[in-house]
Structure 1
Amino acid sequence: MAGSQDPVFFRKIGGVAEISLSPQHRGMNSNDLSFRNRFASLGEAFFSRINPEPLPDPYLISLNPGAAGMLGLDRRDLDAALIDCFSGNRVPAGAEPLAMLYAGHQFGHFVPQLGDGRAILLGEVKDTAGSLWELQLKGAGMTPYSRSGDGRAVLRSTIREYLGSEAMHGLGIPTTRALCIVGSDEEVYREQIETAAVLARLAPSHLRFGSFEVFYYRDQYKPLEVLSGYLLKHHFPELKDEPNPHLALFRRAVGLTADLLARWQLVGFSHGVMNTDNMSMLGLTLDYGPFGFLDAYDPGFVCNHSDHEGRYSFDNQPAIGRWNLTCLAQAMLPLFAKEPDAAVEMAGEALDEYEPAFMQRYSAGMRAKLGLSMSKSEDHSLVTDLLKIMENNAADYTRCFRALGGFKVEDQGRSCPAAYEFADREAFYHWGRDYAARLRGEGRGDEARERAMNQVNPKYVLRNYLAQQAIEKAMHRDYSEIDRLLKLLSRPFDEQPENEGYAALPPDWAGAISVSCSS
């Protein structure tokens, strides 16, 4: 920050200033923000070395206390040298900047080469627990994979990913993390002139399904083995001794993806662009673009204005998860067995695990949302009947489930706050009779059930209009709403009476918000 007098040592490498923080910078040990890059050791078949493009006159817009604290940083540590690091203006000691290579199926069509077109991986940093996190700068300039793009990110989209990823983290859903936003007055043209920003984001790994696809379709099978071995060594070491570790890795990807998609559906999250290049090998929510949380429950909700055919609608996400895994299986076939027919059979058996894994996680999650501790055959119809009357009444997804915690068995829900979410309350009361009968078999009191339900049914989610309000204020250099939402969404299950307005129904104008791939 301005006024910091802590010593920072500089030297030049390749024409770019490299910074090395002294151990005295924060009174911590010398490993703080010490960089390494294990991915760079794989060789340049997997990436292109590229330095970030300097961002003119960068300034800090927001620092995420949760992610920063994980790295042992706080706002007092962000002097000009670190802001230059997170904006891409200086390369930190030990970093090896690179843009990752991958391909992908985009809206169902294979694109043979994609890659990080506006993101540059600096390397890995240790958190306070000793775990390694890749630190990537999104919006750090052109790379060999930018195609016709300028490599920049605009403030609008950066705020959305920054808040979106941390909202998901607050909900307990696997995701990349957002460290900070650094802004600039540099002009960037999208549909209109906007200002540039860089997002510093963190993940244990940014490898994706498309990382395998690019080499499979080039008939380059050795890199497939290298990538799989890298993941096994550094992220899934418990699978290395399996009889077929590469197949075990794929099966783990199946399970992680099934779990992730179930979690998305349970909180009403729609990703918007479930291309295979946006699917994480670690089962993380990756690459936030035109995402959205459900307001009124609509299973056919399409959050991406560019998705004209509704391929990535909310209700289609689980099926797309399997479709994408099929693409990954195809790319990994040479690793499973030398005999093609045997490899295909192995892949098919692994893929068959997806739907049961998804349904098990989703069903268990829905039972928890309804306050049910036991599994019974009638639970499926109880869930589907509720969702149907929610759809018919355009009931708000988040508010309805949260309010359902106030259901009283004795009056069969007649005093339940959730009833007020329905225009046709009699339809809710009719469902409530079946629900009350089911709850009686549980033997748990109303208060205990409500406490349990409130731990899984969030009161606050990042609705599009909330993000839009933060963006509009930021356009006028007021970043207070970004930080306010960041704090709010870090505790989405808590009541937070002072923030009650953030749990209200969205205003009428919210329906006019249009979010596309450029967002």
Structure 2
Amino acid sequence: MPIFNFDNSYLQLSDKFYREVKPNPAPHPELLLLNKDLMKDLDLEVLDENELVKILSGNGIVEDSQPIAQAYAGHQFGHFTMLGDGRAILLGEHLTESNLRFDIQLKGAGQTPFSRRGDGKAAVKPMLREFLMSEAMHNLGVPTSRSLAVIITGEPVYRETVLDGAVLTRVMSSHIRVGTFEFARYFGGIEEVRELMNYTINRHFPELNDAQNPALALLEKVMDLQMDLIVNWLRIGFIHGVMNTDNTSIPGETFDYGPCAFMGIYNPETVFSSIDRDGRYAFGNQPNIIKWNLSRWAETLLSLIDPDEKKAIELATEKINSFDEIFTQKWWEMMFAKLGISNPKPGDDDLVNELLRLMELHQKDYTNTFTYLRMPEIFDENQFFLDEKFEAWIQKWKSRIKLENGGTNFAFELMKKQNPVLIPRNYYVEKALDEAEKSDFLFFHSFLDLLKTPYEFLPEMKEFLQTPDEFDSNYMTFCGT
């Protein structure tokens, strides 16, 4: 019985969109991590672990797998360039028992025709990072890629130093991105864009086939998904760090966990990426960037929106121009919910704005502040600097949530769903990765287990709510994945 139930619908597209390629065999593969929860979600049953390792290390091609590297392009930090899967190989699309379709992709399995000067390999630590962060995001309730396994290859990878090689198995509903459409437009033509649009609609949004203007309906649908995704990021303090158009997933999933991090002290200008020197992808700028990315995507669809270019530009511009109002509404709803407010009243926006100003002024932790409002008892005395203005704000807020239907208890239940107690704080992520890189997985696994229930306070979480002073102020992440 095969481990995977592979189908290969992407191969229905013109071969411009991909290149057939075989993974590089790993000399001495060993299973480092296996995501058993995801195995169940995918209806995968492994009777022979050696066979699984063989497949996910690139040492064996399973029945019905037709490995490919996908072609795409993208605006990276605002500059357009030709790209493609440089070290990712799509084994196929796995169909679950309920006919859900998921890409199964090997990351770090060797060179592809799009590798440029790269070796197509990956090191252990960045692959462990993606595993940890993507599972944390999944448990936080954010649409995301997931990680099925990390396998060490038994060969060295040469970067600034010599590192141990690894392959990560990434799972997504698909790897179609804004950059895929940019590739179709710039390196193909209207027929390639039409072909990709039809495929995307049939795969992800079949209900749009009945739309009067499918291209415009697709733009509106994906814009809505992207807004929901960014609102989710802002809700939990997540900073992607490299929001290029090739990292903008059409189905609205978070992926590419290189220079990503979680904000501790609240500051909208927070950046942790070593390559984002101008703050383009700062925490508070993420809404502006997703709007910019969607604008680049809309440009690829113009010829399908209307054959009259002027009319097409008018229709697309109207959709893009609606972004600010819709996004702002979604953001306010999210922020009100973080304070336990489900039925906003006049003055509630002042309550939110004042809290954010106080947090920024007093350099308070974003996640812990919202947890403190609901559960002050789990924090040490004097941990929060409560000046007169903050005390006055708390009294106003307490009076306000009493007016909610269901009162304070209902408000607290709403807050619990919106505000994680535990996030993968940068200090503990690095501690977990550093120890795991030295083959000590004790802390990695215990941390990962706690991250499975981020909205439920457990006493053993208390030590993870704080990080050493100044750690985040000097913290940098890199494009290692």
User: What TM-score range do you get, normalising by the shorter chain?
Assistant: over 0.9
Q: Name the CA distance, whole Å, in 2 between partners of 1:161 and 1:342.
A: 43
Q: Name the CA distance, whole Å, in 1 between partners of 2:478 and 2:58.
A: 26
What's the CA shift for 1:443? 5.0
Q: Does 1:429 align with 2:391?
A: yes
Q: Name the CA distance, whole Å, in 2 between partners of 1:34 and 1:152.
A: 26
Aligned to 1:446: 408
* Secondary structure at 1:289 match in 2: coil
Asked if structure 2 preserves the Cα contact closer than 8 Å seen for 1:405 and 1:449, the reply is no
Pairs within 5 Å for 1:42-441: 42-73=13-44, 77=47, 79-111=49-81, 113-218=82-187, 220-406=189-375, 420-441=382-403
Q: Name the CA distance, whole Å, in 2 between partners of 1:419 and 1:127.
A: 50
What's the CA shift for 1:426? 2.4
Asked if structure 2 preserves the Cα contact closer than 8 Å seen for 1:422 and 1:428, the reply is no
- Shifted more, 343-352 versus 271-280: the winner is 343-352
Structure 1 pair 227–443 and aligned structure 2 pair: CA distance change class (3 A): closer
Q: Which residue type is aligned with residue 49 of structure 1?
A: E
Asked if structure 1 preserves the Cα contact closer than 8 Å seen for 2:264 and 2:472, the reply is no
Q: Which residue type is aligned with residue 30 of structure 2?
A: Y
What's the CA shift for 1:95? 0.8
What's the CA shift for 1:200? 0.5
Asked if structure 2 preserves the Cα contact closer than 8 Å seen for 1:209 and 1:328, the reply is yes
Identity value in percent = 38
Asked if structure 2 preserves the Cα contact closer than 8 Å seen for 1:70 and 1:128, the reply is no
Q: Name the CA distance, whole Å, in 2 between partners of 1:129 and 1:178.
A: 20
Asked if structure 1 preserves the Cα contact closer than 8 Å seen for 2:272 and 2:475, the reply is no
Asked if structure 1 preserves the Cα contact closer than 8 Å seen for 2:5 and 2:96, the reply is no
Q: Name the CA distance, whole Å, in 2 between partners of 1:35 and 1:45.
A: 22
Asked if structure 2 preserves the Cα contact closer than 8 Å seen for 1:72 and 1:127, the reply is yes
Give structure 1 stretches of 5+ with no counterpart: 1-21, 23-29, 408-414
- Shifted more, 458-467 versus 352-361: the winner is 352-361
* Secondary structure at 2:210 match in 1: coil
Aligned to 1:412: none
What's the CA shift for 1:192? 2.2
Asked if structure 2 preserves the Cα contact closer than 8 Å seen for 1:84 and 1:90, the reply is yes
Q: Does 1:458 align with 2:420?
A: yes
Asked if structure 2 preserves the Cα contact closer than 8 Å seen for 1:263 and 1:362, the reply is no
What's the CA shift for 1:73? 3.5
TM-score (norm 2): 0.95
Asked if structure 2 preserves the Cα contact closer than 8 Å seen for 1:159 and 1:482, the reply is no
**The one of 475, 493, 497 aligned to 2:459:** 497
Deviation per residue, 1:437-462 (Å, 9 max, x gap): 32233254434432331222101111
* Secondary structure at 1:80 match in 2: helix
Q: Which residue type is aligned with residue 160 of structure 1?
A: R
Q: Name the CA distance, whole Å, in 1 between partners of 2:62 and 2:298.
A: 37
* Secondary structure at 2:303 match in 1: helix
What's the CA shift for 1:107? 0.2
Asked if structure 2 preserves the Cα contact closer than 8 Å seen for 1:299 and 1:315, the reply is yes
TM-score (norm 1): 0.89
Q: Does 1:35 align with 2:6?
A: yes
What's the CA shift for 1:178? 1.1
- Shifted more, 491-500 versus 378-387: the winner is 491-500
Deviation per residue, 1:125-158 (Å, 9 max, x gap): 1234331111011111111111111111111111
What's the CA shift for 1:177? 1.3
Aligned to 1:515: 477
Q: Name the CA distance, whole Å, in 2 between partners of 1:116 and 1:244.
A: 31
What's the CA shift for 1:518? 2.9
Q: Which residue type is aligned with residue 108 of structure 1?
A: G
What's the CA shift for 1:507? 5.4
Structure 1 pair 509–301 and aligned structure 2 pair: CA distance change class (3 A): closer
Q: Name the CA distance, whole Å, in 2 between partners of 1:322 and 1:438.
A: 34
Pairs within 5 Å for 1:449-488: 449-488=411-450
- Shifted more, 451-460 versus 504-513: the winner is 504-513
* Secondary structure at 1:135 match in 2: strand
Asked if structure 1 preserves the Cα contact closer than 8 Å seen for 2:185 and 2:300, the reply is yes
What's the CA shift for 1:511? 4.2
Aligned to 1:25: none
What's the CA shift for 1:472? 1.0
Q: Name the CA distance, whole Å, in 2 between partners of 1:51 and 1:349.
A: 44
Asked if structure 2 preserves the Cα contact closer than 8 Å seen for 1:396 and 1:505, the reply is no
Q: Name the CA distance, whole Å, in 2 between partners of 1:490 and 1:353.
A: 36
Q: Name the CA distance, whole Å, in 1 between partners of 2:141 and 2:305.
A: 33
Q: Name the CA distance, whole Å, in 2 between partners of 1:376 and 1:505.
A: 37
* Secondary structure at 1:153 match in 2: coil
Structure 1 pair 189–373 and aligned structure 2 pair: CA distance change class (3 A): same
Structure 1 pair 197–345 and aligned structure 2 pair: CA distance change class (3 A): same
Q: Name the CA distance, whole Å, in 1 between partners of 2:410 and 2:294.
A: 40
Q: Name the CA distance, whole Å, in 2 between partners of 1:240 and 1:420.
A: 58
Asked if structure 2 preserves the Cα contact closer than 8 Å seen for 1:117 and 1:149, the reply is yes
Deviation per residue, 1:37-66 (Å, 9 max, x gap): 110121311011111111221111111122
